[in-house]
Amino acid sequence: FRYWSDVHEEPAWSIITLWQCILAYYIPVEIASLETVSLFLIMMASGYLRVVQERLLNLNDKFDCTIDESRNAIYDEVLTCVKYH
C-alpha cells in the first residue's frame, strides 16, 4: 500500500511524532476532565437541592401557619430562599 507521500522522510516524520505525543497526552486528560466535571456538577446540584429542602422544611418550625401575618412571613422567607439559590 502506497501513501501519497513517504511518511519516513524527516520533516513529516518529526511532525507526525510530535502530534502523536501531544494527542497521547491530551486525549486521556480530556476524558478524565470530562468525567470529573460532570460528577462534580451533579454533586453541586444535589447539595443545593438538599439545602433548599432543609430550608423549606424548617419553615414549618419557624412560623405558625394559622395566622395571616405568618403566611406573609413564610412567603417572604420563601422569596428570600429563592433569591439566594
pLDDT, mean over the chain: 81
Instruction: Report which residue type is found at 57.
Output: L
- In the chain, what are the domain boundaries? 35-85
pLDDT surpasses 80 at 60: no
What is the separation, in whole angstroms, between the first and last Cα of the chain?
62
Query: What percentage of the chain reaches a pLDDT higher than 70?
Result: 75
pLDDT of res. 64: 58
Look at residues 5, 27, 2, 31 and name the one whose alpha carbon lies nearest to residue 16: 5
Q: What residue type is assigned to position 84 of the chain?
A: Y
